A and B are shown apart, each in its own frame.
Chain A
């Protein structure tokens, strides 16, 4: 009954996600029409405007059909994995994205790991030393991190650890797992620092709240070991709001990844977006935006599922007493 409950929840959330994705895809689709001037011109970019190319573009994007039909046909192609070809270089948008996604995913994973490990640890530490010097330092450090933009933190890290100390490379993504890790340490750190304060603050606040709860006092009164109280009683209950904030955190990462990738000259999705916007490469903008939007929706879905897994109150239905 429990497993089917989770399954049902996933299905319900997916059903909610579908209309959301449709709205997003419509927004992405309309980019062509929102660009100033004739859509054909926008799609033409810097290519020579000979009649043949123009006709091919009209044909490719069904620009002569009514808007709804255009959208339907475009969506049909997208669903088959055809995101069109970029204007510059005439490459498949999908393969550009595939090529670039690896770096960004790696960056996100490493940053998430740093944020969760360090953020939760610092939050716990601050909560246990509530009001003390360490607590104030951690909170101040977090505020400092969140109030300086990721690219500023990035340049700072680059200067100190890359240029002055020379411990880490200053650009590029590296090849192979370890080399890539070495290359991506500073960018991940910059990204993590920009968001860490949220995790620290939420963890700290919810730890402090949970520590005052009756069930913690009752566990102490029965002589339950400190380790068990910290992990099973305090941390497990305190993490629920942290997981809820997980969606916001990953989305915050995506926004900041754009700056970080540019700062560290990393060939990821963020720098791909910046490039495509600079070159007014509309198919490429459409493709990357759509992929990122889907990613955000999926992350939120994942957070919801994790949330139900760790909080049984949602899984079980309440028994009337």
Chain B
């Protein structure tokens, strides 16, 4: 019957058709009524921020939901209803017909198994590979397909492989039984920028060569545009927009998609202010029964909250879930146009001859295994002027975090000199108490993970007053006034003083940790990846906060990041750190427009466009 249907209808039967997929856990809805279609050989992306339900949707398709999570609806794969299959038969489908790879390359492989065995175990039931030599040859061929030419890799244990290498081995293992569909859940997110681009290119190449279908789960809209045929935009458990990558990129139908596009900092120019989506990502059941995005939408009207807008076809092949689409289309287009035309902003501070911070020839060595010495920093020199914002760009292992920690005195350099506001600060333990306090008041640090840097048992007020205590004694009234002022500076309501970190979102926590570092009125903030743990829509808010604080308080920044687009938005000058050495420096504009060092060039070409 299916054969007749595919002959008689002009549209071929899709490989995968998901109807009304509803995922819930403990009575709470996680996603509501997702519909999804995928043709043979097609590549689609499910794009969403944390909590959108994109990963669980992918897991539900492979019937791999955690025990406490349940799914309802129908998943038809090549005419077969996967939801109705017993687990025993589903196991025959997984690997052979659809396969899946996960986000973190370092935890995906069995730590006690050689990497080649992950591939070999998938091929064992085929008689032609009974023979050991034939099997080894096949494993080598499979590794070759994912770009591993070194035959030795099959013999290595997973912990001996780099992230990119592990991800390649995992890809070969996932593809070993030649599935028709591969689901890749954030396959590049945990990797370095340059490796990210390599893995995505590889994924795309393998998909084309095999004529395989691909579902890419990602939070990165640009990556989705550059890799996929069609895009599904998911937010708080519901689909808001579906369409071809080109169409969605050129003319997003939903305010959320537009918001995401505008939130992404452009790498090619610096704008005065990013157009951020206000608020934070809600939980799916908090916004059930209405437009999930209404609370954060500038165009929301009462009718948006009256019921959940259905995803309807608003143009051929284009679906949108905004009931005001026709009324606001022109305004949305104008906003997009205005954002694209925003002129580049000049430097925030003119270079001055007297730097506020000067680090010369910093060397940091660690003793590694069996007496070897690891040189994390090989003679690094940087300067930061008053009111200047400096970016420090590098990948994991470049030593960028070590340098940041050394500057604020959390690590002592093996050799080299640090001078902060005229005080020698190379070795905090050797400084006089007065100098040390003065230096601590000058330089403060903002850390990457807002979830682990705030004491979960302390209220926001306590965290902030504790920071105040390091610079002197204050009366209760003075302290309260300062806490209120600090919260105002980071745009949090005063009532947040009594909250504990567990009741704050990631963005709010990062605001509190910024407020804490501002408590002592520092002149320099060392920010170590301060936005990389945040959702894209929240990231823009925090970047705007950094920009505003710099103007209002005349702060200097050292922005440590792997993300060139982020650094482009906040930094006047850039240092590129590679394997413990500064390989390039110059104005942000100059370095990004005309990179000289091969590594910087590679970094810039890795930005998805």
Interface assignment of A34: CB less than 8 Å from any CB of chain B: no
Instruction: Kindly provide the distance from the CB of A290 to the nearest chain B CB, expressed in whole angstroms.
Output: 35
Across the interface, do B111 and A222 meet the contact criterion of CB distance under 8 Å? no
Known: A215-B108, A236-B112. A222 touches B163 (CB 8 A): no
Q: Of B96, B100, B369, which one neighbours A318 at CB under 8 angstroms?
A: B369
Across the interface, do A214 and B102 meet the contact criterion of CB distance under 8 Å? yes
Q: Which residue of B lies closest to A237 (CB)?
A: B112
Residues of B close to A217: CB separation below 8 A: 64, 102
Interface assignment of A278: CB less than 8 Å from any CB of chain B: no
Instruction: Kindly provide the distance from the CB of A238 to the nearest chain B CB, expressed in whole angstroms.
Output: 11
Q: Of A224, A310, A313, A321, which one neighbours B95 at CB under 8 angstroms?
A: A224
Q: Could you tell me which residues of chain B, from 82 to 128, have a CB within 8 Å of some CB in chain A? A: 91-96, 99-102, 104, 107-113, 121-122
Interface assignment of B407: CB less than 8 Å from any CB of chain A: no
Across the interface, do A215 and B110 meet the contact criterion of CB distance under 8 Å? yes
Across the interface, do A222 and B122 meet the contact criterion of CB distance under 8 Å? yes
Interface assignment of A73: CB less than 8 Å from any CB of chain B: no
Q: Of B104, B112, B174, which one neighbours A222 at CB under 8 angstroms?
A: B174
Q: Which residue of A lies closest to B164 (CB)?
A: A321
Q: Of B101, B109, B162, which one neighbours A221 at CB under 8 angstroms?
A: B101
Complex Cα–Cα for A310 and B113 (A): 11
Residue-wise interface mask of A (71-87) relative to B, using a CB-CB cutoff of 8 A (1 in contact, 0 not): 00000000000000000
Residues of B close to A22: CB separation below 8 A: none
Q: Which residue of B lies closest to A312 (CB)?
A: B157
Instruction: Kindly provide the distance from the CB of A148 to the nearest chain B CB, expressed in whole angstroms.
Output: 34
Q: Could you tell me which residues of chain A, from 304 to 321, have a CB within 8 Å of some CB in chain B? A: 310-313, 316-319, 321
Interface assignment of B30: CB less than 8 Å from any CB of chain A: no
Across the interface, do B110 and A237 meet the contact criterion of CB distance under 8 Å? yes
Residues of A close to B129: CB separation below 8 A: none
Q: Which residue of A lies closest to B104 (CB)?
A: A214
Complex Cα–Cα for A237 and B157 (A): 14
Complex Cα–Cα for A319 and B163 (A): 12
Interface assignment of A47: CB less than 8 Å from any CB of chain B: no
Interface assignment of A177: CB less than 8 Å from any CB of chain B: no
Interface assignment of A181: CB less than 8 Å from any CB of chain B: no
Residues of B close to A223: CB separation below 8 A: 91-96, 99, 122, 177
Residues of A close to B96: CB separation below 8 A: 223
Among the interface residues B96, B110, B160, B163, which one has the most CB atoms of the partner chain A within 10 A?
Answer: B110
Known: A222-B174, A312-B157, A313-B159. A214 touches B95 (CB 8 A): no
Across the interface, do B110 and A222 meet the contact criterion of CB distance under 8 Å? no
Across the interface, do A215 and B109 meet the contact criterion of CB distance under 8 Å? yes
Instruction: Kindly provide the distance from the CB of A280 to the nearest chain B CB, expressed in whole angstroms.
Output: 51
Interface assignment of A226: CB less than 8 Å from any CB of chain B: yes
Residues of A close to B113: CB separation below 8 A: 232
Interface assignment of B173: CB less than 8 Å from any CB of chain A: yes
Q: Could you tell me which residues of chain B, from 127 to 168, have a CB within 8 Å of some CB in chain A? A: 156-157, 159-163, 165
Residues of B close to A312: CB separation below 8 A: 111-112, 157
Complex Cα–Cα for A317 and B101 (A): 27
Residues of B close to A321: CB separation below 8 A: 161-163, 165, 397
Across the interface, do B157 and A222 meet the contact criterion of CB distance under 8 Å? no
Q: Of A224, A225, A228, A311, which one neighbours B112 at CB under 8 angstroms?
A: A311
Interface assignment of B526: CB less than 8 Å from any CB of chain A: no
Complex Cα–Cα for A321 and B122 (A): 27
Interface assignment of B271: CB less than 8 Å from any CB of chain A: no
Across the interface, do A313 and B111 meet the contact criterion of CB distance under 8 Å? yes
Known: A222-B177, A223-B91. A310 touches B160 (CB 8 A): no
Interface assignment of B13: CB less than 8 Å from any CB of chain A: no
Q: Which residue of B lies closest to A317 (CB)?
A: B369
Known: A222-B177, A223-B93, A223-B95. A213 touches B107 (CB 8 A): yes
Interface assignment of B486: CB less than 8 Å from any CB of chain A: no
Residues of B close to A233: CB separation below 8 A: 110
Q: Which residue of B lies closest to A211 (CB)?
A: B67
Across the interface, do B176 and A218 meet the contact criterion of CB distance under 8 Å? no
Across the interface, do B111 and A215 meet the contact criterion of CB distance under 8 Å? yes
Q: Could you tell me which residues of chain A, from 203 to 225, have a CB within 8 Å of some CB in chain B? A: 213-215, 217-225
Complex Cα–Cα for A215 and B397 (A): 25
Number of interface residues of A (CB under 8 A): 27
Known: A222-B174, A310-B112, A313-B111. A318 touches B160 (CB 8 A): yes
Across the interface, do B159 and A221 meet the contact criterion of CB distance under 8 Å? no
Across the interface, do B162 and A222 meet the contact criterion of CB distance under 8 Å? no
Interface assignment of B62: CB less than 8 Å from any CB of chain A: yes
Q: Which residue of A lies closest to B158 (CB)?
A: A215
Q: Of B108, B156, B397, which one neighbours A218 at CB under 8 angstroms?
A: B108
Known: A310-B112, A311-B112. A221 touches B94 (CB 8 A): yes
Interface assignment of B170: CB less than 8 Å from any CB of chain A: yes
Complex Cα–Cα for A313 and B177 (A): 29
Instruction: Kindly provide the distance from the CB of B169 to the nearest chain A CB, expressed in whole angstroms.
Output: 11
Instruction: Kindly provide the distance from the CB of A313 to the nearest chain B CB, expressed in whole angstroms.
Output: 6
Residues of B close to A228: CB separation below 8 A: 121
Complex Cα–Cα for A233 and B117 (A): 12
Complex Cα–Cα for A224 and B110 (A): 12
Complex Cα–Cα for A145 and B122 (A): 43
Complex Cα–Cα for A223 and B94 (A): 5
Complex Cα–Cα for A237 and B111 (A): 8
Across the interface, do A220 and B64 meet the contact criterion of CB distance under 8 Å? yes
Across the interface, do B64 and A222 meet the contact criterion of CB distance under 8 Å? no
Residues of A close to B156: CB separation below 8 A: 319
Q: Of A222, A226, A316, which one neighbours B99 at CB under 8 angstroms?
A: A222
Complex Cα–Cα for A225 and B125 (A): 11
Across the interface, do B174 and A319 meet the contact criterion of CB distance under 8 Å? no
Q: Which residue of B lies closest to A212 (CB)?
A: B66
Residues of B close to A214: CB separation below 8 A: 102, 104, 107-108
Q: Of B94, B104, B111, B397, which one neighbours A220 at CB under 8 angstroms?
A: B94
Instruction: Kindly provide the distance from the CB of A315 to the nearest chain B CB, expressed in whole angstroms.
Output: 9
Residue-wise interface mask of B (581-607) relative to A, using a CB-CB cutoff of 8 A (1 in contact, 0 not): 000000000000000000000000000
Residues of B close to A222: CB separation below 8 A: 94-95, 99-100, 122, 173-174, 176-177
Residues of B close to A215: CB separation below 8 A: 107-111
Complex Cα–Cα for A222 and B90 (A): 11
Residue-wise interface mask of B (21-48) relative to A, using a CB-CB cutoff of 8 A (1 in contact, 0 not): 0000000000000000000000000000
Residues of A close to B110: CB separation below 8 A: 215, 219, 232-233, 237
Across the interface, do A318 and B159 meet the contact criterion of CB distance under 8 Å? yes
Across the interface, do B112 and A316 meet the contact criterion of CB distance under 8 Å? no
Complex Cα–Cα for A218 and B167 (A): 12
Residues of A close to B159: CB separation below 8 A: 313, 316, 318
Residue-wise interface mask of B (157-199) relative to A, using a CB-CB cutoff of 8 A (1 in contact, 0 not): 1011111010000100110110000000000000000000000
Among the interface residues A213, A219, A237, which one has the most CB atoms of the partner chain B within 10 A?
Answer: A219
Q: Which residue of A lies closest to B170 (CB)?
A: A218
Instruction: Kindly provide the distance from the CB of B117 to the nearest chain A CB, expressed in whole angstroms.
Output: 9
Residues of A close to B101: CB separation below 8 A: 218, 221
Among the interface residues A220, A236, A310, which one has the most CB atoms of the partner chain B within 10 A?
Answer: A220
Across the interface, do A221 and B112 meet the contact criterion of CB distance under 8 Å? no
Q: Which residue of A lies closest to B173 (CB)?
A: A222
Q: Which residue of B lies closest to A214 (CB)?
A: B107
Residues of A close to B160: CB separation below 8 A: 316, 318-319
Complex Cα–Cα for A232 and B110 (A): 9
Given contact pairs A222-B177, A318-B369, A319-B156, a sample of 5 additional A-B residue pairs in the complex whose CB atoms are under 8 Å apart:
A223-B92, A223-B177, A226-B91, A232-B113, A312-B111
Q: Give 16 CB contacts A-B under 8 Å.
A: A214-B104, A214-B107, A215-B108, A218-B101, A218-B109, A221-B64, A221-B95, A222-B94, A223-B91, A223-B94, A223-B96, A225-B91, A232-B121, A237-B112, A313-B157, A316-B160
B residues near A (Cβ < 8 Å) are: 62, 64, 91-96, 99-102, 104, 107-113, 121-122, 156-157, 159-163, 165, 170, 173-174, 176-177, 369-370, 397
Q: What 4 A-B pairs are tightest by C-beta distance, nearest first?
A: A223-B95, A321-B162, A223-B94, A221-B100
